[in-house]
Amino acid sequence: MPATRLKNLHALSRFDATLGLLALLSIICVLTPKDIVTRKLEIRPSEYQANIAGDSYSGGKSEASWVDEKARRWRCILSDAIYAPYCSFQISTINENWRGLDLRAFNKMTIVGEYLGEANYIRVYLRNRHPRYYVLGDETTTKYNQAEVPIANLRNGVGVRLQDFEVADWWLVQKKIPLKESHPEFNDVIYIEFQTSSALHSGTHEIQIEKIIWQGNYISNETLYRGIALVWAATIFLLLLLRLTRLKAELQSTRNYQNELESINKLLNLQNKQFEDLAKTDQLTGLLNRIGIREPLLAGLNAWKHTQTPMAFVLIDLDYFKMVNDRYGHDVGDQVLRKSAELVRSNVRESDYVARWGGEEFLLMLPDTSLTQAEQIAEMLRSKLETAQIHTATTITASFGVAALKEDNLDNLFKAADDALYKAKQNGRNCVYTNG
Ligand SMILES: Nc1nc2c(ncn2[C@@H]2O[C@H](COP(=O)(O)OP(=O)(O)OP(=O)(O)O)[C@@H](O)[C@H]2O)c(=O)[nH]1
């Protein structure tokens, strides 16, 4: 498997694993019972300063008395002498620093105790202080946050949500509280008060509040779900970003690899071309060799076949070359060969081809050239070679055999040129013979 695909697979499984883990955490968060992450405050009225009162203050005849003061068990003999009779039990929650309870972090209140009587509800006041409305020394200026709580099941605890508290109407009216201040507040609750419910008529009620518990979640459901959604969004965004970065890097590395391949390819092509040129070139003279001349020969033959374009051969063979080697050494022989080749090459057209055909023999192929023109070219070359002073100690000459293509056969053309050359050699050398 290619390395990039393997890398991608790894990245994909990491991607899946992260999402899987996140999904699992989200499910755990949603399913976890909230009371695991709940803060709690519990107070026992028996540990706080408490007092009880009847409604004589309002002109009534209801009486409150302790049944067991230590246990904060009290009794109310309710008398409907006035319109809304009541008895009340109040504890002071102010501490030594003069602070009340801060219940803002809680959302539920549970009351546990005992009740004997006919009432269905008990009224609870959480009386809050705030400089905006509280006047020092006048306890009636505490805000009366009020809720009517079912009392029947007090033994097992009855719960009320803090959001179900409302500020008592009579207090708002009596204290002329502006509307914007009429919401419940629990920042500094200095009294907790229990009152017989206003719907009650005369009768005896025995009440004991054993404990009051407040509970609140460290994180609200709303915050929790918003947090989970945020974490999901951030994770997906990050993973996508990571993926994009990885893809970019992969793309770049593929591009680099492609560029590298292209460079190698270019180099190989160049080397190929060099090898090809080398294979077609004679190392000593730089002329074409027999392999190199093949292609131009076939092209010339083709042109003759299709358009009757003439083509001529001139075979050039240096005279008495063995003697040059023998007399002046092989290196001098090489030099003579190079200079002779150069002379021929530089005195014919660019479109003509010169090849080293054998040891001291050259083939001049002349495309689009008649026999007569070829004969003239051969004569020109012969003369230049003779006078060129290729070697200082001796004159270098050559014999020339000329022939032109007459039929669809290169071998016959060679043979004709070769025959002409043979005649030139036979007839004293340093001359041009034509085989017409
Ligand atoms: N220095 C050198 N000599 C070469 C090379 N190739 C062939 N020769 C020599 O060329 C000579 C050709 O000799 P011959 O075939 O007898 O021809 P010639 O001496 O030129 O005599 P004619 O062709 O009859 O005039 C030989 O001595 C070869 O060794 C080469 O690459 N370098």
Q: What is the CATH number of the domain that holds 54?
A: 2.60.120
Question: Would you say the C-alpha torsion 372, 378, 381, 382 has a positive or negative sign?
Answer: negative
Grouping H, G, I as helix, E, B as strand and the rest as coil, residue 30 is helix
Element (H, E) at 182: none
CA of 360: how far to CAs of 154, 175, 320, 348, 420, in Å? 130, 134, 10, 19, 17
Distance, CA 319 to ligand 1 centroid (Å)? 9
Judge contact between 288 and 355, C-beta under 8 A. yes
Residues 211, 338, single domain; the answer is: no
Residues 382, 298, single domain; the answer is: yes
Q: What is the CATH number of the domain that holds 353?
A: 3.30.70.270
Judged by average pLDDT, the poorest of 82-86, 146-150, 307-311, 418-422 is 82-86
Q: Is residue 265 part of a domain?
A: no
Residues 240, 213, single domain; the answer is: no
Q: Is residue 186 part of a domain?
A: yes
Would you say the CB of residue 396 lies under 6 angstroms from ligand 1? no
Residues 129, 103, single domain; the answer is: yes
For residue 321, give the ligand 1 atom closest to its CA.
20
Would you say the CB of residue 318 lies under 6 angstroms from ligand 1? yes
Judging by DSSP bridges, how do beta strands 203-217 and 108-116 pair with one another? antiparallel
Q: What is the pLDDT of residues 227-264, one digit of tens each?
A: 889 999 998 899 899 989 999 999 999 999 999 999 99
Please give the Cα distance from 57 to 318 (Å, whole number): 151
Residues 170, 299, single domain; the answer is: no
Q: Is residue 384 part of a domain?
A: yes
Please give the Cα distance from 318 to 325 (Å, whole number): 12
For residue 225, pLDDT over 90 is answered with no
Grouping H, G, I as helix, E, B as strand and the rest as coil, residue 188 is coil
* Block residue for tokens 């076939």: 298
Judge contact between 197 and 182, C-beta under 8 A. no
Q: Is residue 388 part of a domain?
A: yes
Residues 44, 109, single domain; the answer is: yes
Judge contact between 315 and 415, C-beta under 8 A. no
Residues 146, 232, single domain; the answer is: no
Q: Where are the alpha helices (DSSP H) in 119-220?
A: 169-174
Final residue before a domain boundary, out of 202, 217, 232: 217
Q: What is the DSSP string of 248-265?
A: HHHHHHHHHHHHHHHHHH
Q: What is the pLDDT of residues 158-202, one digit of tens each?
A: 999 999 999 999 999 999 999 998 999 999 999 999 998 766 668
Q: Is residue 280 part of a domain?
A: no
Closest CA to 256 of 8, 4, 10: 4
Q: Whose alpha carbon is nearest atom 12 of ligand 1?
A: 322
Q: Is residue 330 part of a domain?
A: yes
Q: Is residue 76 part of a domain?
A: yes
Predicted ipTM of the assembly: 0.96
Distance, CA 312 to ligand 1 centroid (Å)? 25
Judge contact between 431 and 399, C-beta under 8 A. yes
| Number of domains making up the chain | 3
Distance, CA 342 to ligand 1 centroid (Å)? 18
pLDDT for 1 equals: 47
- Of 335, 360, 418, best ligand 1 pocket probe by most atoms within 8 Å of the beta carbon: 360
Residues 362, 310, single domain; the answer is: yes
For residue 286, pLDDT over 60 is answered with yes
Please give the Cα distance from 61 to 55 (Å, whole number): 6
Closest CA to 62 of 43, 87, 98, 37: 87
Residues 228, 181, single domain; the answer is: no
Q: Is residue 367 part of a domain?
A: yes
Please give the Cα distance from 421 to 362 (Å, whole number): 11
Spell 381-391 as b/e; 16+ CB within 10 A means b: bbeebeeeebb
Please give the Cα distance from 430 to 318 (Å, whole number): 9
Look up the pTM and report it: 0.52
Q: What is the pLDDT of residues 39-94, one digit of tens each?
A: 899 999 999 999 999 999 889 999 999 999 999 999 999 998 888 899 999 999 99
Q: Whose alpha carbon is nearest atom 10 of ligand 1?
A: 322
Cβ neighbours around 270 below 10 Å, total: 10
Average pLDDT on 404-409 reads 92
- Of 325, 421, 427, best ligand 1 pocket probe by most atoms within 8 Å of the beta carbon: 325
Element (H, E) at 47: none
pLDDT for 221 equals: 76
Q: What is the pLDDT of residues 340-387, one digit of tens each?
A: 999 999 999 999 999 999 999 999 999 999 999 999 999 999 999 999
Residues 15, 118, single domain; the answer is: no
Beta strands in 197-296 (DSSP E): 203-217
Tell me the angle at which helices 321-328 and 330-346 cross, rounded to the nearest 10 degrees: 140
For residue 3, pLDDT over 70 is answered with no
Residues 110, 75, single domain; the answer is: yes
Judge contact between 336 and 396, C-beta under 8 A. yes
Final residue before a domain boundary, out of 217, 238, 269: 217
Please give the Cα distance from 348 to 380 (Å, whole number): 10
Question: Is 431 buried (19+), middle (13-18) or exposed (0-12) by CB count in 10 A?
Answer: middle
Would you say the CB of residue 330 lies under 6 angstroms from ligand 1? yes
Average pLDDT on 33-37 reads 64
Question: Is 401 buried (19+), middle (13-18) or exposed (0-12) by CB count in 10 A?
Answer: buried
Q: In whole numbers, what is the pLDDT of the chain averaged over residues? A: 92
Maximum alpha-carbon separation in the chain: 168
Distance, CA 326 to ligand 1 centroid (Å)? 10
Residues 154, 67, single domain; the answer is: yes
Residue 318: give the domain boundaries: 290-435
Distance, CA 315 to ligand 1 centroid (Å)? 15
pLDDT for 152 equals: 85
